[in-house]
Amino acid sequence: MKAHEIMTPRPDVVTPADPLSRAAAIMRDRDVGMVPVVADTASMMLEGVITDRDVAVRHVADEHGNDCTVGRHMSRENIQAVTESDDVASVIAAMERAEVRRVPVTDAQGKLIGVIAQADVARCDVIPTALVAEVVKKVSEPKRS
Can you point out the beta strands (E) in 45-121?
46-51, 82-83, 102-106, 112-117
Question: What integer pLDDT is reported at residue 39 of this predicted model?
Answer: 95
Query: Where do the domains of the chain lie?
Result: 3-140
| pLDDT tens string 66-82 | 777 888 878 888 888 99
Work out the percent of the chain whose per-residue pLDDT is above 90: 49
Is residue 65 over pLDDT 70? no
Q: CA angle, 65 as apex, 55 and 27 as ends, to 5°?
A: 30
Is residue 11 over pLDDT 60? yes
CATH superfamily label, 3-140: CBS-domain (3.10.580.10)
Pairwise pLDDT comparison (77 vs 56), residue with the higher score: 77
Q: Each residue of 82-119: b (16+ CB within 10 Å) or e?
A: bbbebebeebbbbbbeeebbbbbbbeeeeebbbbbbbe
pTM of the model: 0.82
Question: What integer pLDDT is reported at residue 14 of this predicted model?
Answer: 97
For the chain, the average pLDDT equals 84
